Amino acid sequence: MSILGRILRTSVFRLSLLYALLFSLIAAAALLSVYKFAENQIENQIDRRLKLETNLLLENYRKRTLTGLTEDINIYNKQEGRPFYIYALIHQRKLDLKQFIPVEQTPEINKNQTQIFASIPLGKIIEYVNDRKDDQTVRILLTLLPGGYQLLVGAELEETQDLLNQLFKASLIAISIIFALSILIGSLMARRMLNRINAVTNTADNIIDGDLSHRIPVMDDRDNELDRLSRSLNRMLDRNEELMIGTREVSNNLAHDLRNPLNRIRHRIESAKLDKNSKTGDEFKFDDFADDTIEDIDGVISTFNALLSIAQIESGEPRKDWTEFSLNELLHDLSEIYEIVADEQQIVWQYTVDNNLNVNGNKQLIAQLFTNLLDNAFKYSPAKSTIQLSAIMNDDSNVEVTISDQGTGIPESEHENVFKRFHRLDSARSTEGNGLGLSLVKAVVDLHNAQISLSDNNPGLMAKVSFQS
């Protein structure tokens, strides 16, 4: 389909066409109002001039009676400098001029005479007016005099009608120009909108084809609604790409973590089968076989349980179990447990917590959060080092819990990565664990709208969790 065809089918062009029609109708109504106003103003001006001419003739009529009025009319009709006006004095027996006046134009009664304004075809009175075209329309002021005489003073409307016709033509031209410009502007807007939509469509097609790196172009020098929408969609695409990459990494890491224990179980079963069929089958130790197998299976189950817990937390389901509880009591219970662990590992345990610290959330998940952080601290801390657990109310009235150790620490470049699922600093994945502990911590923190940050403890690691009040 051609670019013109696509433009004509766009919603923007159709909307522009609708606006053009509406605006043209409004402009037509406005110009019609101007036309009618101009027509009324011109008619009023002509009526005032007719009134003035009539008053001059009536003044002479009062002074010189019908004879003087007739002489004045003959003189006025013969004057070449005043072709605009028509004058006539006709008796009702000869021609009743009131019969040519439309019924809706009622006469205005003055003090001394009856006068009627009207617009009539000149052909009705052409025999009483010389050198005029009978197809013209004249504006008249008819004055009824005593004795049945009628004084008619008229004004030709040809020039006025030409002026009004020119005004009408100008109005039509203006409306046509307005409509054409509206269509042109609508087409340009539709073409620009079509280009933006094509950019979105092309980006979507590329992403569907598997290229997740494509993004919607954004105009740097503008900040309209399309740019804001494009930025929002790009952030969504960035998030989707991160999720896709994360899912791929999780799948790879999960396959790697499950392959090792399953291979060990399979190898162990094959070895047990061979030992049972060999002559030395009496040397087979079932208890060791069972314990090792159960340990590997427990590790697999632990991995799946951790994944299920993270998925459940991220779904927001635990919010229904939220209550406000004393964080002091929770941390005190944890301190009693880990103080025993510290004694067994010859680690110095320090515990300082402010009073009256309350948190709104899921108590079990928050306990799991601090348990995971403390387990990591003890796991990577050497003997005779110090682990500290503290909780305070900071200047922003937020509850801030800090766990610090003097272990191996985490490089600053890995502070964000360690919260990813299955991420380990040990690339060979030879250390114990499934790489999901800190992922669960991050899920619990996000669920409670809290903040977690890692920093260097020189030596060791400092983890700080802040709950909003």
CATH of the domain at 240: 1.10.287
Token pair 């051609």 is found at 2
Domain boundary among 162, 194, 213: 162
H/E segment holding residue 170:
helix 158-208
- Cα separation, 310 vs 436, whole angstroms: 9
User: At 459, is the secondary structure helix, strand, or coil?
Assistant: coil
**339 and 277 inside one domain:** no
The answer as to whether 99 is a domain residue is yes
The answer as to whether 213 is a domain residue is no
- Cα separation, 176 vs 53, whole angstroms: 42
- Cα separation, 368 vs 261, whole angstroms: 26
User: At 183, is the secondary structure helix, strand, or coil?
Assistant: helix
The answer as to whether 113 is a domain residue is yes
Handedness of CA 448, 450, 456, 459 (dihedral sign): negative
- Cα separation, 423 vs 434, whole angstroms: 9
The answer as to whether 276 is a domain residue is yes
**352 and 424 inside one domain:** yes
**pLDDT score recorded for residue 111:** 45
Per-residue pLDDT of 201-235, as tens digits, reads 888 888 888 777 778 787 766 667 777 778 888 88
**284 and 366 inside one domain:** no
H/E segment holding residue 364:
helix 363-379
**233 and 328 inside one domain:** no
Q: Which residues, given as ranges, of the chain have pLDDT below 50?
A: 108-113, 281, 427-430
Domain boundary among 277, 293, 314: 314
**350 and 421 inside one domain:** yes
Interacting residues of 201 by C-beta distance below 8 A, sequence separation 6+:
none
The answer as to whether 231 is a domain residue is yes
What domain count does the chain have?
3
**pLDDT score recorded for residue 9:** 66
**306 and 324 inside one domain:** no
AA letter at 115: Q
User: At 157, is the secondary structure helix, strand, or coil?
Assistant: coil
**241 and 309 inside one domain:** yes
Sort strands 108-109 and 114-121 into parallel, antiparallel or unpaired: antiparallel
Token pair 């740097």 is found at 220
- Cα separation, 353 vs 340, whole angstroms: 18
**142 and 13 inside one domain:** yes
**pLDDT score recorded for residue 430:** 46
Burial of 401 (0-12, 13-18, 19+ CB in 10 A): buried
**245 and 355 inside one domain:** no
**118 and 154 inside one domain:** yes
**337 and 449 inside one domain:** yes
Which segments within 282-381 are labelled E, that is strand?
Answer: 323-326, 348-353, 358-361
**pLDDT score recorded for residue 388:** 94
Burial of 3 (0-12, 13-18, 19+ CB in 10 A): exposed
The answer as to whether 198 is a domain residue is no
Sort strands 399-404 and 451-456 into parallel, antiparallel or unpaired: unpaired
The answer as to whether 201 is a domain residue is no
The answer as to whether 216 is a domain residue is no
Judge contact between 417 and 425, C-beta under 8 A: no
CATH of the domain at 364: 3.30.565.10
**258 and 327 inside one domain:** no
Structural domain of 249: 225-314
Domain boundary among 289, 314, 339: 314
User: At 412, is the secondary structure helix, strand, or coil?
Assistant: helix
